[in-house]
Amino acid sequence: MGRGMSATRTCLVCRYSGTYASDALADVNHARHSCAKHLQTVERTRRRVQRAESRVRRDCTHPRARHVHGTRVAYVKDRCRCTDCTAANTAAGRAAHRAQTFGRWRPFVDAAPVREHIRALRAAGIGVEQIALLADISTSHVRELADIGRDGNPRIRRVRPETAQRLLRIRVDLANRAARSHVTATGTRRRLQALIAVGWPHDELAARLGRSSASLHRSMLSDSVTAQTAQDVSALYERLWNLLPPQSTDDQRAAADSARAFAAERGWLPPLAWDDVDTDSDPRDVKHAQPDDDLDEIAIERALAGDGVRLEHLTPAEQDEVVRRLTERGKSIRDIAQQLATTKRTVSRRRASINAA
């Protein structure tokens, strides 16, 4: 049948149909078609559709990875043969063949840098299982990459570029430590001591960390703490190191003064005294380096004049001297507390210590 200037012909044997520009071209060209070739094409199409309909779709059962359908890794690891995964595997194969043809095929890279990085991570306390979890690869593969054979040669000399990138991007960082692994308590102890030195009460710090006061006290006395504790204390320190504790009530001011006095008696340093709170060497003889009887007359005179100097800004010896001089000038406990921005209870304790001396 023809419509307009075109003509369509259908073979009565193989049912092949063709549309041509005119009846004359249809009569000439339709007779030239191959029934056998057309039947082969029909059969291939039928088989392709049948295979697509019969493909098995397998969901990922990997404990960590959760492979996505439509990727080559799902085709290989999960043996999923759905249409999308099969197409992804075919495309990956064609890309590899094309790269080989043009000399750009680099399936492996040297494993030596990866091996050295794994050693550095393990030396920093990041274990093999944690490395495998962070890199999203198997634990056995990490061990194989790190191991050296009995002959002194590495067991694995080359590694996939993707695997190398996953491992090399893991930083030697406290945040990458397993939560229950143990680290030195030096930085944790110094951070807590520094916060107490600026007036944060021990019980307040424990409450903010979601721990009991006794538990936090044990952490301050231990040589090591868990990585989770170190991370929690570090995060709290970053939030509070440059902030003063709440002092809106008498009880809060008394607690802050008590914390500062407790830290001063033990020579604990405030945050600004550390260049690197984790790596600085321990100061020796802090009390001798800054003796209590070394008075700053300028600070004392400013406090006596009411020049915005708070009691917490002075050393214990300077606090006693200011309270003593103000008392000699006839100031009451309330007036001294108001001038030095502290509590009457604190001033009373200072007076008592002066009288006892």
pLDDT tens, residue by residue, 206-260 = 999 999 988 898 888 888 888 889 889 999 999 998 888 988 888 888 889 999 9
Is the pLDDT assigned to residue 4 strictly greater than 60?
no
pLDDT average, residue stretch 129-158: 84
| DSSP 8-state code for residue 262 | H
Q: Which residues of 13-29 are buried (b: 16+ CB within 10 A; e: fewer)?
A: ebebebebeeeeebeee
Distance, CA of 186 to chain centre: 21
Looking at residue 226, its pLDDT comes to: 87
Which range, of 50-64, 276-290, 342-356, averages the lowest pLDDT? 276-290
Q: Please, what is the Cα angle at 272 between 324 and 313, to 5 degrees?
A: 15
Looking at residue 356, its pLDDT comes to: 62
What one-character-per-residue DSSP string does 132-192 give?
Answer: HHHHTS-HHHHHHHH-B-TTSSBS--EE-HHHHHHHHT--S-GGGS-TT-EEESHHHHHHH
Is the pLDDT assigned to residue 136 strictly greater than 50?
yes
Looking at residue 208, its pLDDT comes to: 93
Looking at every residue in the chain, the average pLDDT score rounds to 84
User: From CA 253, how far away is CA 274, in angstroms rounded?
Assistant: 26
Per cent of the chain over pLDDT 90 is: 20
pLDDT average, residue stretch 63-88: 84
pLDDT tens, residue by residue, 279-305 = 777 765 444 444 445 677 888 888 888
Looking at residue 357, its pLDDT comes to: 58
At residue 63, what are phi and psi to the nearest 5 degrees? -65, -20
Residue 81's pLDDT band (cuts 50, 70, 90): confident
Kindly state the tokens that stand for 327.
Answer: 């008392």
| Alpha-carbon Rg for the chain in angstroms | 39
Kindly state the tokens that stand for 5.
Answer: 């200037």
Looking at residue 40, its pLDDT comes to: 93
Q: Which residues of 171-203 are buried (b: 16+ CB within 10 A; e: fewer)?
A: eeebebbbeeebbebbbbbbbbbbbbbbbbbbe
Per cent of the chain over pLDDT 70 is: 94
| DSSP 8-state code for residue 245 | P
pLDDT average, residue stretch 6-30: 89
Looking at residue 35, its pLDDT comes to: 92
User: Of 192, 220, 209, 224, nearest to 125 (Cα)?
Assistant: 224
User: From CA 223, how far away is CA 98, in angstroms rounded?
Assistant: 58
How close are the terminal C-alpha atoms of the chain, in Å? 123
pLDDT tens, residue by residue, 158-212 = 998 889 999 999 887 767 777 777 778 888 999 999 999 999 999 999 999 999 9
User: Of 298, 335, 300, 339, nearest to 316 (Cα)?
Assistant: 300
pLDDT average, residue stretch 55-66: 77
Residue 152's pLDDT band (cuts 50, 70, 90): confident
